[in-house]
Amino acid sequence: MARNNDTWILTAQCPSQLGTVDVVTGFLKQQRCYITEQHSFDDKLAKQFFIRTEFQPQASDFNILDFQEVFTARAAEFGMTFNLSEKGYRMPVVIMVSKTDHCLNDLLYRYRAGKLSIEIKAVVSNHPDLEPLVRWHDLPYYHFPITKETKAQQEAQVLQVIEETGAELVILARYMQVLSSEMAHTLSGRAINIHHSLLPGFKGAKPYHQAYQKGVKLVGATAHYINDDLDEGPIITQKVEVVSHANYPDDLVDLGRDIERQTLAHAISCHVERRIFLYGQKTIVFSR
C-alpha cells in the first residue's frame, strides 16, 4: 500500500504502571504507524508517566478519527489522557507588547521566515509606538491604553480580541503590565511570558544597571506560563550567559535582549509542537 506521509503528534500521560510505553508503541505498530520521534519520562515522585510520540501512518486508508476512537478505549485501560495533533499545524496566537521591540521584532522575523509554526492573528499593546512595525508586516494592531482606573475595561478589550481571533496562545513579548488574577486564570496554560533572570535581586527600573553595580557574573532569561504570582509561573525554559567586570551596563542590556529573544522563541516552539506537559506548578518539557 502507498505510504501516508502526514506526521501526527500523540501526547499522553497516566499514572505510572507496567506497560505504559507499550500501550502507545504497541498500538502504533498494530495500526501500521511508523514512529519518527519519541520521548518519555516517568516521574517517580509524582508517580506519573508522560510520553510524546511523532508517527507517520503507513496505510493509504488511514483515518485519524477511527484511530482516535480505537485508541481511546485502549488508553482508558491505563487511565491515560491523550491529545492528537498534526505536525506543522500553525497555532493562532496574539502577541502583547508595550514599547520595547526586540522580542516582537524577533518573532515577526521568525514568523515571516516560517521558523515558528504560528499564525499571528493580532498584536495588542498599551502604547501606540510599535504600530508602524506591525502594520509593515500587514498585521492587525490594537492600541488599548491602560490606567489603574481602566484596567478591568482594558483587559476585557484584550480578551475580546483573543476570543474573536480564535487565538490558542498569548505571547507576552515584554508586555510591561501586571495581569489581574482574573486575566491570569482565564489564560492559564495558554499564555507565555518572558523576563530577565536577574530577578528577584534587581527589580524595578534599569535592572541591568543595578546588576552591573553589584558585579553580576551571569545574565539570563526565563520563559514561563503566567499565573497570578508575578513572574513565578511554571517555567518552560531558561538560558544564561557568563559575563564579567569587562561588560558595561549597555553590554549587559544587549546580551540580555539576545537571550530573551532566544528563550522566548524556544518556549513558543516547545508549546506549539506539543512538547510541554503542564503538571501542577511545574512543566515536563521534551525539547528537541
List the catalytic residues: 231
Residue burial 57-67, b: 16+ Cβ < 10 Å; e: rest:
beeeebeeeeb
Three-state secondary structure readout of the chain: CCCCCCCEEEEEEEECCCCHHHHHHHHHHHCCEEEEEEEEEEECCCCEEEEEEEEEECCCCCCHHHHHHHHHHHHHCCCCEEEEEECCCCEEEEEEECCCCHHHHHHHHHHHCCCCCEEEEEEEECCCCCHHHHHHCCCCEEECCCCCCCHHHHHHHHHHHHHHHCCCEEEECCCCCCCCHHHHHHCCCCEEEEEECCCCCCCCCCHHHHHHHCCCCEEEEEEEECCCCCCCCCEEEEEEEECCCCCCHHHHHHHHHHHHHHHHHHHHHHHHCCCEEEECCEEEECCC
Our CA dihedral for 179, 183, 187, 191, rounded to 10 degrees, sits at -10
Our CA dihedral for 191, 197, 203, 209, rounded to 10 degrees, sits at -130
